[in-house]
Chain A
Amino acid sequence: DAKTTQPTSMDCAEGRAANLPCNHSTISGNEYVYWYRQIHSQGPQYIIHGLKNNETNEMASLIITEDRKSSTLILPHATLRDTAVYYCIVRVEAFGNEKLTFGTGTRLTIIP
């Protein structure tokens, strides 16, 4: 699976949009971009995933650049409960390689 690079930490003011970047310059054509978050020591929570089109759900939006070498997760109106470690993961969709490989993620702190 392609390697991802994320900032170690970020702050965002409560009520503002939180934009979390991720670089995946070696991504292959059959690799999806997944985002999870882990709040404190809870189990990772699925947020969103996409291949090449931008995606939106009730939690967030995922913007993938046209060359697919980077993406941005957007939390439109951050709240204190969004403080967590956010993981950007690329995952190949092929038999025998379905596991998610977690990196170190971005520690997002929402400031009141």
Chain B
Amino acid sequence: NAGVMQNPRHLVRRRGQEARLRCSPMKGHSHVYWYRQLPEEGLKFMVYLQKENIIDESGMPKERFSAEFPKEGPSILRIQQVVRGDSAAYFCASSPLMNGVPFFGPGTRLTVL
């Protein structure tokens, strides 16, 4: 059984560029969560999605950040016009149903130059 997959594992962007982070949930999982971990800090919840629906986006910054989980394909976290403060590790987790145990992927480390 493949676990949660994230790609790319490392992403380097210059200020002002766009970053697209992909998360492929475990087989049979239809719920996805995104978290951000700034250097030397804890994990902060960003957004929770089901297929084609955003359920909770209370942790998403109001500007430049968006997330989707289409009917087909991976979940995408998109960061427009990146700034140096966006440099962090971004983790996604998936679960099989509401209130199922979330399992995390290995993360994408974003570096903004």
Main secondary structure on B side of the interface with A: strand
In this assembly, does B101 line the interface, its C-beta being within 8 Å of a C-beta of chain A?
yes
The contact of A44 among B59, B91, B99, B109, by CB within 8 Å, is B91
Question: Are the C-beta atoms of B48 and A102 separated by less than 8 Å?
Answer: no
Q: Interface code B24-52, partner A: CB below 8 Å = 1, 0 otherwise?
A: 00000001010100000011110010000
Which partner residue on chain A sits nearest B55 by CB separation? A96
**Chain B: minimal CB distance from A44 (Å):** 5
Main secondary structure on A side of the interface with B: loop
Number of A-B contacts (CB under 8 A): 56
Question: Are the C-beta atoms of A41 and B89 separated by less than 8 Å?
Answer: yes
Which residues of A have CB within 8 Å of B95? 98
In this assembly, does B102 line the interface, its C-beta being within 8 Å of a C-beta of chain A?
yes
A45 to B102, alpha carbons, bound, how many Å?
9
A47 to B106, alpha carbons, bound, how many Å?
16
Question: Are the C-beta atoms of B98 and A98 separated by less than 8 Å?
Answer: yes
Give the number of chain A interface residues (Cβ < 8 Å).
23
Q: Given A95-B98, A98-B98, A99-B33, check contact A46 B103 (CB 8 Å).
A: yes
In this assembly, does B69 line the interface, its C-beta being within 8 Å of a C-beta of chain A?
no
Which residues of chain B (84-113) have a CB below 8 Å from chain A? 89, 91, 93, 95, 98-99, 101-107, 109
Question: Are the C-beta atoms of A46 and B55 separated by less than 8 Å?
Answer: no
A104 to B35, alpha carbons, bound, how many Å?
15
Residues in chain B within 8 A of chain A (CB atoms): 4, 31, 33, 35, 42-45, 48, 55-56, 59, 89, 91, 93, 95, 98-99, 101-107, 109
Residues in chain A within 8 A of chain B (CB atoms): 34, 36, 38, 41-46, 49, 93-105
